[in-house]
Amino acid sequence: MRPLLGDATLRLLGYYWGIFGVIALISSAIYRLSFRVLELQDVQLGALHWIVLVVFTLLMIHSEGYRGFHLNFSPRVVVRALYLRDNNRPWLSLLGPVFCMGYFHATRRRMLTSFGVTAAIVIAVLLVSRAPSPWRGIIDAGVVAGLVAGVLSLLWHWVQAEFFNRPPQIPPDLPRVDV
């Protein structure tokens, strides 16, 4: 019996699922947090609030958007997605976004980093959810700005690899058996 999808089609599906699944996950967080940011319209912000809002937002764009996403996370997601495109591993393609984020089939260090960052995010979300208004909205505004910068960075690296044949020059952090 002939398979429903050819080998090349499965690899391409895994590649696109990896990239756009990660973008969808991040976009979902942006969407949910945006409602909290919009609540700031109903609050009278003082000078201190505005200063913290601007400074924290710029800090998050730099630290989360540029340093976290643009220099590390985004290029690695693209490189790992390219691995899916170039290698016949249907089970990796099926779990494309999770694979691209480095949660499995990665070096020990990459998996520890991926799970560690996730744990830190969960703890931060729990702590921020207890913050009073307007501080919670101010923090969420910075986070949304950083996440938007991250999605734009991911799209930038993907476009460079997909349309200009300039894949990121960063290791995919695959386990030794694949290196």
Mean pLDDT of 67-75: 98
CA distance 79 to 19: 10
Instruction: Work out the number of other CB atoms within 10 angstroms of the CB of residue 108.
Output: 9
The pLDDT, as a whole number, for residue 8 is: 87
- Calculate mean pLDDT across residues 147-166: 98
3-state SS of the chain?
Answer: CCCCCCHHHHHHHHHHHHHHHHHHHHHHHHHHHHHHHHHHHHCCCCHHHHHHHHHHHHHHHHHHHHHHHHHHHHHHHHHHHHHHHHCCCHHHHHCHHHHHCCCCCCCHHHHHHHHHHHHHHHHHHHHHCCCCCCHHHHHHHHHHHHHHHHHHHHHHHHHHHHHHCCCCCCCCCCCHHHC
Query: What are the distances in angstroms from CA 73 to CA 7, 66, 106, 127, 155?
Result: 28, 10, 14, 24, 12
The Cα 112–Cα 118 span in angstroms is 10
| Alpha carbon 163 to chain centroid, angstroms | 21
pLDDT at 88: 79
Q: Please check the confidence at residue 18 and state whether its pLDDT lies above 90.
A: yes
The confidence score (pLDDT) of residue 83 equals 96
Residue 135, pLDDT above cutoff 90: yes
Is residue 46 exposed (0-12), middle (13-18) or buried (19+ Cβ within 10 Å)? exposed
pLDDT at 16: 97
9: CB partners within 8 A, 6+ apart: none
pLDDT score of 177: 74
Mean pLDDT, the chain, rounded, equals: 94
**pTM of the predicted structure, to 2 decimals:** 0.92
Percent of the chain exceeding pLDDT 70 equals 96
Task: Quote the pLDDT of residue 89.
Answer: 86
Q: Cα separation of 92 and 18, whole Å?
A: 9
- pLDDT for res 63: 97
Residue whose C-alpha is closest to residue 74's, from 170, 1, 179, 10: 170
- Span 19-32, pLDDT tens digits: 999 999 999 999 99
Provide the pLDDT confidence category of residue 3 given band limits of 50, 70 and 90.
Answer: low
